[in-house]
Structure 1
Amino acid sequence: MNIPTVLALPYPAQGHVNPLMTLSQKLIEHGCKVLFVNTDFIHRRVLSSMVEHQDGHDHESLLKLVSIPDGVGPDDDRNDLGKLDETILRTMPATLEKFIEDVHGKGDDRISLIVADVCMAWALDVASKLGIKGAVLSTRSASFFGLMCNIPVLIDDGIIDSNYGLTLTTKKTLRISPSMLEMDTRDFFWLKMGDKINHVKVMDYLLHCIRRLHLTDWWLCNTIDELEPVTLSFIPKILLIGPLLRSDDDTSEATKSMGQFWEKDLSCMSWLNQQPHRSVLYAAFGSFTLFDQNQFNELALGLDFTNRHFLWVVRQDNKMAYPNEFLGSKGKIVDWAPQQKVLSHPSIACFVTHCGWNSIMKGLSNGVPLLCWPYFGDQLHNKTHICDELKVGLGLESDENGLVSRKELKNKVDQLLDDENIISRSLELKEKLRNNLAKGGRAIVPPKIDKLHLAFQPDKLSLGV
């Protein structure tokens, strides 16, 4: 019997590549081949960071790392999300179609299914044209996915205008459903993208993707029932496959490194081994967050001010200088860390996070309470979910100058680590997430598709994601 081939297509950003890579590896464990299609730019970054380099073209491998161009010029800024999205939509559908036709022309890897990131849902048009089944994966929370799906409704109801701004008649809060918590309309993610991001172009792109969701019934989401029961009852079409994390018994460092943009500094693990139990603050802000010099200073001095051990991830692209007063004597600074491994270490006391959904899932699955410092996009929404709904963290608040001060950081660290209720709830959620992570948990994959042997039952599947 031929092994079914799945084409996986992530949005070109670290927080999107990682969970789809984990799902791809799980699909392989359940009898599939996977063509993992990054953009050329991201493909080069992934290969350069891998512990054991591959050229992505091993024909004996069940996972092939391949790439197609994103259409963006070599000297253009890919952090300009408006320009990136506009170019992707203009060029990549035709490029993906040609790539698939070339694969089929060779005859050995005929694609049975395309799993596309929600933010690449235009690929469903390509799948439909070529007669291939399609599915989408939301790498964000179900509630955020629900908000995205309701953007056309918000436009039709006159809550947001043609440029995605709030209309004069918009209320300060709204509910997507009567049972869900109110959302502050001023915190809609597209209004918090920063001055350098053209939110109209980004939203035009997302709206195009959202309007393709009707082309599939398989809406996969990296979450579990216990994290978002109300949202999941409101959007029953969502299929749960969370948490998309590698299990503890997966010890292959090469496997864990697949999909990473930067090489992990493993020296932090031996450093953590020398620290007392629950003594270390772990501070990491993802692949996109940028601080100005004033905020960087306050963060550095705040870590000193806590008078606690800390592990701080400062990416290679950081251009800020450390303040002269910064000692850092109780801490360790690395370019990039093995985050899941770090958060499972017994010396970690709390996680100072930008509130990316992948980071949240890793923190919660290890019972680590969270200090929430969102940067943009869904992260503000996630902060509210963590602090007000799940109540397993605290938010860091800005002062009158728009800065999170060193005093605020110290006070919230002390408050968080003295709150037994937060710690207790964090440990309870850890058990629920771990039960889903373990083999025999309730994670699911798309229904059986033609000859894809995915052992699917609608209400239960032992995927062990």
Structure 2
Amino acid sequence: MAKQAHIFMVPLPAQGHAKPLLKLAYKVASYGIKVTFVDTGSVHSKPFATNSDKVQEHNNVVFVSAVVGLQGSDGHTHEETTMERGTQAGNLIDLIRNMEDPEITCVVADVTMGWILAEVAEKLPVRTAAFCPASVGSLALSCHIPKLIEAGTIDSNGKMARSDEVISLSADIPPWKATELPWKYPRNDETRDTEKLLFELCKTAQKTAESVEWIVCNSSQEFEPAACDLIPGYLPVGPLIESHNAERTSGAAGSFWLEDTSCLDWLDSKPPGSVIYVAFGSAAHLNQHEVDELAFGLEMSGHPFLWVVRSDFTREAPPSYPIGFLERVADQGKIVEWAPQEKVLAHRSVACFLSHCGWNSTMESLSCGVTFLCWPSFTDQFHNASYICDIWKVGLRLNQDKSGIISRHEIKTKIELMLSDDSMKANASNLKKKAQESVLPGGSSFKNFEKFINFLRH
């Protein structure tokens, strides 16, 4: 009798990586496969897997804790201010060895943590696979790093030889500018160390992609056909989304922040297609001047808005608002620390999404047919914004003025343009349909997921 499949999943300790892998875990578990999910360390004070009944009710998913370091291709473990340094892969291997029956049959790790997969494959009789939470296009760029270095397009530190040059992998994949590479980081006080870490993670992803049989991705063939053709062994199974019909309870699986579900009742009170949803994910920051301009822009638009403002949204101090702003917008807007984003995007009152363009947010918004106002900050967000605006044509960029600030007038103007553009709404509706069809029986993502399940079982 064949032993029962039991999968060990290891995310990178960042919400944008951990949450989609947990969605994959629950989807795998729904096929009767046992999943042990490693909480590799919270990057915030709030728990990764909260104690709500909704999170804990799935008998096929169990959680274990092990803080894992970030190891680059040079073999050293790096520290990052938002990610805790921890144990080496040996401790994870010991954890796997000590698991009770049924035994682990496969380890699935984030593509940027391939060093774990390498040690596991060397020391344990289990299969390995990787998970990529970013776009296929972003991974394709990582896979081309050795060729780009060999051609002299970038140096060994990832810096482009010419600042006016772009990197193009295909006519149907947005090109990368020198300032918009996924390892570039805009904060001058942290740039050198952070860019080194990010470039090491991209190089690790490249080596991982070459060493595993399958790379599972939160994307779909319909969204990125040209990029999917560039990477063998790639299985786009997305968009990975949660049920929008779940009860309005807080504590969604994979969230490092406690969700404020009162915003859903507030949305119920607003007309269809009227609300501007504003959220910048779990890691992006604005300075206080940018927060002020955003506040004024939302107020000047005259449209109702739901704005997610984390307690660490500004680096210098807790975020504050212009004098009298909260009183003036008391009936127009609602501000929460964290929102149940997929439920918000699926709500009938939401008109568009002012977003940092993280890949998870991008997939969630496309799945709900919601258009974008794009305010990218770093890593792959600029490339995602290029997909949104130039390839899919479902969004508009918010452009900086001569002083490098996105002004209140720019925000107000782009909100008005977006809400009056029927063609972008139609494009978004079409992509929503494609997203839904891809995960249904017979769809490309459905077929790829069944192929992955077959791999896990045999």
- With normalisation by structure 2, the TM-score equals 0.88
Residue 10 of structure 2 corresponds to residue 9 of structure 1: yes
Check conservation: 2:307, 2:336, Cα contact below 8 A: yes
Residue 274 of structure 2 corresponds to residue 279 of structure 1: yes
Instruction: Percent identity, please.
Output: 35
Name the counterpart of 1:31.
32
Shift of the 40–179 alpha-carbon distance from structure 1 to 2, 3 Å rule, reads: closer
Q: What amino acid is the match of 1:63?
A: V
Q: What amino acid is the match of 1:208?
A: T
Shift of the 9–413 alpha-carbon distance from structure 1 to 2, 3 Å rule, reads: same
1:253 Cα offset (Å): 4.8
Q: Which of residues 44, 60, 63 is equivalent to 2:61?
A: 63
Residue 246 of structure 2 corresponds to residue 244 of structure 1: no
Distance 1:237 1:287 in 2: 30
1:53 Cα offset (Å): 9.1
Name the counterpart of 2:338.
336
DSSP 3-state at the match of 2:107: strand
Q: What amino acid is the match of 2:347?
A: H
Q: Which of residues 156, 161, 166 is equivalent to 2:155?
A: 161
DSSP 3-state at the match of 1:37: strand
Q: What amino acid is the match of 1:298?
A: E
Q: Deviations over 1:370-405 (max 9, x none)?
A: 000001100011111110111000000011111111
Name the counterpart of 1:431.
433
Check conservation: 1:10, 1:20, Cα contact below 8 A: yes
Root mean square deviation, CA, Å: 2.7
Name the counterpart of 2:321.
322
Name the counterpart of 2:224.
228
Greater mean alpha carbon deviation, residues 233-242 or residues 35-44 = 35-44
In structure 2, stretches of 5+ residues that fail to align are 71-77
DSSP 3-state at the match of 1:46: coil
Distance 1:382 1:187 in 2: 11
Distance 1:448 1:174 in 2: 32
Check conservation: 1:172, 1:186, Cα contact below 8 A: no
Greater mean alpha carbon deviation, residues 217-226 or residues 431-440 = 431-440
How many residues are aligned here? 437
Name the counterpart of 2:305.
310
Shift of the 316–48 alpha-carbon distance from structure 1 to 2, 3 Å rule, reads: farther
1:300 Cα offset (Å): 1.0
1:41 Cα offset (Å): 3.5
- With normalisation by structure 1, the TM-score equals 0.87
Q: What amino acid is the match of 1:219?
A: I
Shift of the 53–68 alpha-carbon distance from structure 1 to 2, 3 Å rule, reads: farther
Q: Deviations over 1:270-310 (max 9, x none)?
A: 11000011110000000001111111111111111111100
Residue 196 of structure 2 corresponds to residue 219 of structure 1: no
1:36 Cα offset (Å): 0.4
Name the counterpart of 1:125.
118
1:340 Cα offset (Å): 0.5
Matched ranges for 1:35-434 at <5 A: 35-41=36-42, 45-46=46-47, 49-52=50-53, 61-70=59-68, 82=80, 87=85, 91-103=87-99, 106=100, 108-129=101-122, 130-168=124-162, 172-177=165-170, 180-195=173-188, 196-197=190-191, 198=193, 199-248=195-244, 251=247, 253=249, 257-318=252-313, 319-326=318-325, 327-329=328-330, 330-434=332-436
Check conservation: 1:364, 1:429, Cα contact below 8 A: yes
Q: What amino acid is the match of 1:388?
A: D
Following TM superposition, the consecutive aligned residue runs of length 4 or more in structure 1 with deviations greater than 6 angstroms are: 83-86, 448-451
1:234 Cα offset (Å): 2.8
Check conservation: 2:371, 2:394, Cα contact below 8 A: yes
Distance 2:426 2:51 in 1: 37
Distance 2:31 2:276 in 1: 38
Distance 2:272 2:81 in 1: 46
Q: What amino acid is the match of 1:265?
A: D
Check conservation: 1:49, 1:262, Cα contact below 8 A: no
DSSP 3-state at the match of 2:449: coil
